[in-house]
Amino acid sequence: MNNLDIWLTIIFLGVGTFLLRFSFIGLVGDRELPEWLTRHLRYVPVAVMPGLIAPLTVWPQATGGEVDPARLIAAGTALLIGSIFRSVLGAIFSGMAALYGVLYLLA
């Protein structure tokens, strides 16, 4: 790719991102959303997070795509703590502690 193609791609992606965010913040930001829409929007994080976390847990780049027991244990710990205590921060920190603890023990 030449420089012009790269800069055009960056500019178009920036404009697209701006328009997508502006559609929610600028156009709808000061209005009350319908109840049915807010009910559906509550499920967005629940749907997005597994899609972000699963590939990093099952096929981690750090291990060249091989299944890693340390990451599986960390994910299980975070899931368990998050579901018991209903705490996102608790799940994050317990998963981090489990990952680094297991990596330390295996090294």
pLDDT at 93 (0 to 100): 97
Phi, psi of 87 (to 5 degrees): -125, 120
Instruction: Calculate the alpha carbon distances from 4 to 13, 15, 73, 105 in Å.
Output: 14, 16, 46, 50
Secondary structure E strands in 2-80: none
Integer Cα distance of 84 and 15 in angstroms: 42
Contact call for residues 78 and 54 (beta carbons, < 8 A): no
Q: Give the predicted TM-score (pTM) of the model.
A: 0.62
Q: Which of 21, 102, 43 is nearest to 68 (CA)?
A: 102
Task: Give the model confidence (pLDDT) of 30-68 as tens digits.
Answer: 888 889 988 998 998 888 888 888 888 888 887 788 888
